[in-house]
Amino acid sequence: MTEELNVKELFSNFIKFNRRNNRLLLIFIVFGVLSVIIFQKFKTPYYETKAICMSGISEYERVKYEEEWLQRTAIDLINYLEINIENKDYKALSSLLGVDFKVAKKIKKIEAEQLYQKDMNEEFFSLNKFEIMLTVFDNMIIEDVQQGLLYYFSNNTYVNDYYMRFNESCDQIINDINYEMRLLEKVRLEGASNSLDVSTHSVNIVSGKEGKNISNQIISLSDLREEVKMKKLLFKPLAYVQDFAHVDKKEDDILVWGILGGFLSFCLGLIVAFIKEVN
């Protein structure tokens, strides 16, 4: 009971203290909020945008990754750029992205994150795509940065080496399939000329997917060839599923910083008012 009375008395004294010094506190709060607004108005505004991407690096490496790690190498390469941005090493950043120094200097932040989706059981599972968050001081350089990221991936020694090997492998597989298809076509033509039904004596082959046997070799090989072609087409070092959106709205954080500035000014006013009453 005594503790409740002490709390009530303390709160009552605090209210009375604020009333006695309301003008002083109001001056501090107004000054703090106005200072933040003025600072934000003169501060360089920035723009935030996003892009959805995918990368075929894990396919080049031919390593059996868990689903959530399929895009890990690409995400790490994107986030590596943040080191140069934080250190304000715009010369190195412009070299990596293949953009002008002035463009690199206007990049505030680049960050990549894995994308997830919720299933019917309310559980999240990773997609084979990731998201890039870009913050710049000039919305006119968004396209330059987008092209710069493509340049960055295509000129990375590790990625480029594996990508070349991947393309060579795909081309070799396609050539081998075409050769086998020509042989099969030749066998069928010879069988037809000798009135033989070759298709009934054909040997089952696997189409590349475990457990899926198809009796018609030509159809199977054609299906496999198209699958390889599609992989070669889709699995780029970096591909944009959705480009960076062009934004015109400036982000200045006036509301957040205004509230914070007002609160800090109020606390400072309380200290000054307390010192004033003590003296």
Nearest to residue 129, comparing CAs of 53, 49, 69?
53
The DSSP H or E segment spanning 147 is helix 142-154
Q: How many CA atoms lie within 13 A of 188 on its CB side?
A: 12
Q: What percent of the chain has pLDDT over 70?
A: 77
In eight-state DSSP terms, residue 251 is B
Q: What is the pLDDT of residues 78-123, one digit of tens each?
A: 999 999 999 999 999 999 999 999 999 999 999 999 988 877 776 7
Q: Is 210:25 a contact under the CB 8 Å cutoff?
A: no
Beta-carbon count within 10 A of 252 CB: 15
pLDDT computed for residue 9 by the predictor: 72
Which string of DSSP letters, residue by residue, matches 12-42?
Answer: HHHHHHHHHTHHHHHHHHHHHHHHHHHHHHH
- Residues forming beta bridges with residue 90, ordered by sequence position: none
Q: How far is CA 49 from the centre of its chain?
A: 11
- The CA distance from 260 to 279, in Å, is 29
H-only helix segments in 43-71? 57-61
Please say if the pLDDT value at position 205 is more than 80: no
Q: pLDDT category, 61, cuts 50, 70, 90?
A: confident
**pLDDT at residue 247 is higher than 50:** yes
Instruction: Give the span between the Cα atoms of 105 and 170, in whole angstroms.
Output: 40
Give the pLDDT confidence score for residue 221 in this predicted structure: 83
Give the model's pLDDT for residue 105.
Answer: 94
Tell me the pLDDT tens digit for each residue of 27-60.
878 777 777 767 666 667 789 999 999 998 888 8
Mean of the per-residue pLDDT values of the chain? 80
pLDDT digits (tens, 9 = 90+) for 211-223: 343 347 778 888 8
Task: Give the burial string for 147-160 (b: 16+ CB within 10 Å, else e).
Answer: ebbbebbeebeebe
CA 53/CA 63 separation, integer angstroms: 20
Structure tokens at 23: 């003008």
Q: How confident is the model at residue 131 (pLDDT cuts 50, 70, 90)?
A: very high
Q: How far apart are CA 219 and CA 229, in angstroms?
A: 15
**DSSP label of 199:** G
Specify the pLDDT at position 182: 82
pLDDT at 184: 77
Separation between Cα atoms, residue 6 and residue 268, nearest integer Å? 25
Which residue is it, tokens 């795909």? 170
More confident residue, 153 or 21: 153
In angstroms, rounded to a whole number, what is the distance separating the alpha carbons of residues 191 and 164?
Answer: 41
pLDDT at 63: 67
Taking CB atoms within 8 Å and a gap of at least 24, the contacts of 197-205 are: none
Q: Which pLDDT band, with edges at 50, 70 and 90, does 197 fall under?
A: low
pTM of the model: 0.66
CB-CB contact of 57 with 76 (8 Å):
no
Mean pLDDT of the 192-201 span: 53
**How do residues 146-193 score in pLDDT, each as one tens digit?**
999 999 999 999 999 989 998 888 899 888 888 888 887 777 776 656
